[in-house]
Amino acid sequence: MINILLNGCNGKMGQTITQILKEYPHIKIAAGIDTNAVKFKNDYKVYNEIMDVEETADLVLDFSHPNSINKIIEYCVNKGIALIVATTGLSELHYEALSKASTKIPIFQSANMSYGVNVTVELCKNAAKILGKDFDIEIIEKHHSEKKDAPSGTALMIAQEINSTLHNSLEFIYDRHQKGTRKPNEIGIYSLRGGTIPGEHTIVFAGKDEIIEVKHTAFSRKIFAEGSIKAIEFIVGKKPGYYNMQDLLKEMIISNE
Ligand X SMILES: O=C(O)C1=N[C@H](C(=O)O)CCC1
Ligand Y SMILES: NC(=O)c1ccc[n+]([C@@H]2O[C@H](COP(=O)([O-])OP(=O)(O)OC[C@H]3O[C@@H](n4cnc5c(N)ncnc54)[C@H](O)[C@@H]3O)[C@@H](O)[C@H]2O)c1
Question: Which positions are catalytic?
Answer: 143, 147
Segment lying near ligand X (by CB under 6 A), choices 22-30, 149-157, 167-175, 208-216: 149-157
Compute the least distance from the CB of residue 183 to ligand X, in Å: 26
Please report, as a single letter, which amino acid is at residue 49: E
110 touching ligand X, by CB under 6 A: no
- Enumerate residues 6+ apart whose C-beta is below 8 A from 43: none
- Tell whether 165 is in a known binding site: no
Compute the least distance from the CB of residue 125 to ligand X, in Å: 17
**172 strand-pairing partners:** 187
64 touching ligand X, by CB under 6 A: no
Q: Using CA atoms, how far apart are residues 127 and 116, in angstroms rounded to an integer?
A: 16
Compute the least distance from the CB of residue 130 to ligand X, in Å: 26
Of the pair 14, 106, the CB lying nearest ligand Y is at 14
3 state DSSP class of 6: strand
Burial of 195 from C-beta contacts in 10 A (0-12 / 13-18 / 19+): exposed
188 binds, among ligand X, ligand Y, none (CB under 5 to 8 A by kind): none
Q: Which of residues 111-130 bind ligand X (CB under 6 A)?
A: 111-112
Burial of 186 from C-beta contacts in 10 A (0-12 / 13-18 / 19+): middle
143 binds, among ligand Y, ligand X, none (CB under 5 to 8 A by kind): ligand X
Q: What are the residue ranges of helices labelled H in 132-244? A: 153-165, 222-235
3 state DSSP class of 207: coil
The answer to whether the CB of 221 falls within 8 A of the CB of 12 is: yes
- Site of interaction with ligand Y (CB under 6 A): 7-8, 10-14, 33-36, 63-65, 67-68, 86-89, 110-113, 149, 153, 224
**193 strand-pairing partners:** 143
Compute the least distance from the CB of residue 187 to ligand X, in Å: 16
Q: Binding site: what residues are annotated?
A: 8-13, 34, 41, 86-88, 110-113, 144, 153-154
Q: Binding site for (S)-2,3,4,5-tetrahydrodipicolinate: what residues are annotated?
A: 144, 153-154
Interface residues with ligand X (CB under 6 A)? 88, 111-112, 143, 147, 152-154, 199
